[in-house]
Amino acid sequence: MDCLPNNSDNKTLKSLSSDRRLDSMDLKSNHTALVLADPAPLNKSTLRVSSGLLPYSGATLSQNLFLTVPTMKAGILDIRASNCLDSMESSSPPDKKSRDFNNDLESTDTDVAYCAWLLKYPSALASFDQITNPAKGKRIALFLDYDGTLSPIVDNPDCAFMSNDMRAAVKNVAQFFPTAIISGRSRDKVYEFVGLSELNYAGSHGMDIMGPVRQSFDDHSNCIRSTDNQGKEVNLFQPASEFLPMIDEVFNSLINNTKDIRGAKVENNKFCVSVHYRNVDEKDWTVVAQRVHDVIRNYPRLRLTHGRKVVEVRPVINWDKGKAVTFLLESLGLSNCEDVLPIYVGDDQTDEDAFKVLREGNCGYGILVSSVPKESNAFFSLKDPQEVMEFLKSLVVWKKTSTLCNK
Ligand SMILES: [Mg+2]
């Protein structure tokens, strides 16, 4: 079993309270924000499933099993940038390689904490029957995050390639189940990484969705007809399209403002901008927080969210990965949970919006990819992309077996 981070000399492993804090850390605007109504809300009455679908959740994790440690504070940061720094720290636990120096005693403690956490978020592999039993007679719809879910987190975000084995597993599973990738990357970039034309893609945290043509969406604002790479007619849904010039402007400002910070990398994800600090010395994280804040303080219609060693600048609109799941289910004709079981697999804070939609709709399962305990709206967990691949393969075997049995 992997060990949790050493808490003797660092500060970043937080638990439930810190995850909640992350949400509250987003810069708030008192300006009028563009708010889009959900074009295709899941009807709760169609989402209801029997209580037998709910996984075991009787065990709760004792607070003292989480490691909490003091956070570093910058001397000259203004308060909002300091909040940003807190979120950067709490969303970026130390890498596994830095945890390997833990001594045996601490490893034992952290193993206990991880095992206890698994009682609340059981492994999707160990609980495979609990997931597939309610899916009998239904179609499984699969939603997959990319970074940290299908690909390992790497130092250079431009090199977050998925393995050929993983690509084959995704291709295979998509033959049996409608499958969509929902990523914070630009849609073009994530398509470039995945390279499978049979999938549906949503980039920029769901703010750029390419899906099949549906007549019912023709009158939908922000939905336009386009063609995909194969020349097939598709619908493009881009609820933040009016923000494009602003995002480009902020991207250029962030490039300029962070160019002297060694290791900082700014990525234009079309409808959002990512500032990666994975390669920035930890003592300079305060500078990253301040520089990012210095730029976006001039843009009240933009906000910050936090991922694993990345700060993301996004439009303040009522749209997220959860809304994207709802939209895709509707546009794929899969919104009736009497017939469909959606499964969403992701590792990041932004994936919580999708987990929440499935949990609150009592429709389908979120699966959190994490090797450290953290509070989540997911029902199940997988430790790393390798386990995600095993889970995808298991789904294919299950489908083939159940099809044969029904013949
Ligand atoms: Mg991710």
**339 a catalytic residue:** no
pLDDT at 200: 95
- Could you say which of 9, 78, 111, 145 is catalytic? 145
For the stretch 52-66, pLDDT in tens is 344 433 333 333 333
For 348-379, letters b (16+ CB in 10 Å) and e give bbbbbbbbbbbbebebbbbbbbbbbbbbbbbb
| Mean pLDDT, the chain, whole residue set | 80
Cα–Cα distance measured from residue 230 to residue 197, given in angstroms and rounded to the nearest whole number: 8
For residue 145, how far is its CA from the centre of ligand 1 (angstroms)? 6
- Answer yes or no: is pLDDT of 291 > 90: yes
State the average pLDDT over residues 257-283: 96
Strand runs (DSSP E) across 84-190, as ranges? 139-144, 179-182
- Sorting pLDDT into bands at 50, 70 and 90, what band is 13? very low
pLDDT at 215: 64
pLDDT at 25: 33
For residue 403, how far is its CA from the centre of ligand 1 (angstroms)? 32
pLDDT at 302: 97
State the average pLDDT over residues 290-299: 95
- Answer yes or no: is pLDDT of 327 > 80: yes
- Answer yes or no: is pLDDT of 170 > 80: yes
State the average pLDDT over residues 112-141: 95
For residue 189, how far is its CA from the centre of ligand 1 (angstroms)? 14
For the stretch 374-396, pLDDT in tens is 999 999 999 999 999 999 999 99
For residue 370, how far is its CA from the centre of ligand 1 (angstroms)? 10
pLDDT at 30: 34
For residue 287, how far is its CA from the centre of ligand 1 (angstroms)? 24
pLDDT at 77: 61
pLDDT at 103: 62
